[in-house]
Amino acid sequence: MVKVFIYPTTSLILSDLVARFGHTPLSAALQIREHIQTPGLESPPLQITPEDPKKGLKWAAVEVPSGVRGRMSLYGPMLEQAEAAIIIHDADFSFGCMGCARTNELIQFLLRKRGIPVLDLRYPRTEEEGIEFVAAIKKFLNELAGGGA
């Protein structure tokens, strides 16, 4: 069983398929859960605190907008844990603002820089593509260590 980074990090389909085929999906929910279950100081009452952009400095330079650094404080630890990744490229809903778009580019760059196995896909648009989509994910996951569940 390996830890598989999924992009979009909120994807229901990827999260489900990775878990279904016996691996651990690294999704945004896990980091957000850890954030909101940790006592501390909160202002404003959201999952990102003023401390997070400082933590994000590990993955993005100080000139980079704080929105990107704040997001990287969530995604950065997962990028470091990831042993493989599945990326869907046409996820329009993951582009909420420029911060998201730049964070998304940085995530993909850092994943490729790590040299881990990466599967690039787009969402299926027909039933035939759906069959190939699921088959490709299963084959990719089976080839990882501990795969074949």
> What does the binding site for another protein look like in residue numbers (CB under 8 A)?
8, 10-13, 15-17, 19, 25, 27-33, 35-43, 45-47, 89-94, 120-127, 129-139
* Main-chain phi, psi angles of 60, to 5 degrees: -140, 145
User: In what order do the strands lie in the sheet containing 118-121?
Assistant: 24-26, 3-7, 84-88, 118-121
- Sorted by sequence, the CB contacts under 8 Å of residue 90 that are 6+ apart come out as 122, 123
At which residue do the structure tokens 């989509």 appear?
A: 133
Q: Is 94:8 a contact under the CB 8 Å cutoff?
A: yes
What is the rounded CA–CA span in Å between residue 49 and residue 1?
Answer: 33
What is the rounded CA–CA span in Å between residue 115 and residue 122?
Answer: 21
